[in-house]
Structure 1
Amino acid sequence: MKELTLDDLKNALRAAAGEAETLDDPADLLDVPFSEMGYDSLAVMETTAQVERMLGIELPEEETAELKTPREYLDFVNARIGETV
């Protein structure tokens, strides 16, 4: 079973919405809201499309749009990976 890691998520954010300076910040990014990193809801939607292609799963758009931090996003996606196995 594949798991989405923070590095995977950072790569998907970069691919979908460009570079944010805070992604390379040594501080723990897990609980920093996407909005504080410079990513809006459209960026999260584009990231979700990247993640779906990467993992070969489908994620409900209305639920992923509600996720505010990388920790929430990773927990949500990894729970869905477990459901599809």
Structure 2
Amino acid sequence: MRECTLDDLRRILLDLGGLDDPAVLRGDIMDTGFIELGYDSLALLHLAVRIETEFGVEVSDVISEFPTPRAAIGYLNRRLTGVA
């Protein structure tokens, strides 16, 4: 099973739309808060649905616990590899 990368997450976030300036997703955003990137709690629920659809891992009940892409990707990859 493949792991989730920052590029995967960035692609999903861009697909969700709603950003005033999509350029905020360029560069190293691993430790930038989702709120700082422009994603509110509703957008995070949409993100969770996309992750569940694409990766087959339920995260909607915990997505709000992960404030940054690093935290979300880490959790998802632990679930994908059976570590979490």
Aligned-partner residue type, residue 24 of structure 2: T
Using the size of structure 2 for normalisation, the TM-score is 0.83
- Deviant stretches of 4+, over 4 Å: none
Same amino acid, percent of matched pairs: 36
- Aligned twin of 2:53: 53
With the length of structure 1 as denominator, give the TM-score of the two structures: 0.83
Q: Is the 8 A contact 2:41 2:64 kept in 1?
A: yes
Asked whether the 8 Å contact 1:17–1:39 carries over to 2, the reply is no
State the Cα RMSD in Å: 1.7
Could you tell me which residue of structure 1 aligns to residue 24 of structure 2? Answer: 22
Provide the residue aligned with 1:63 in structure 2.
62
Which stretch shifts more, 32-41 or 61-70? Answer: 61-70
Higher share of residues assigned helix:
1
Matches within 5 A, 1:35-50: 35-50=35-50
* Structure 2 unpaired stretches of 5+: none
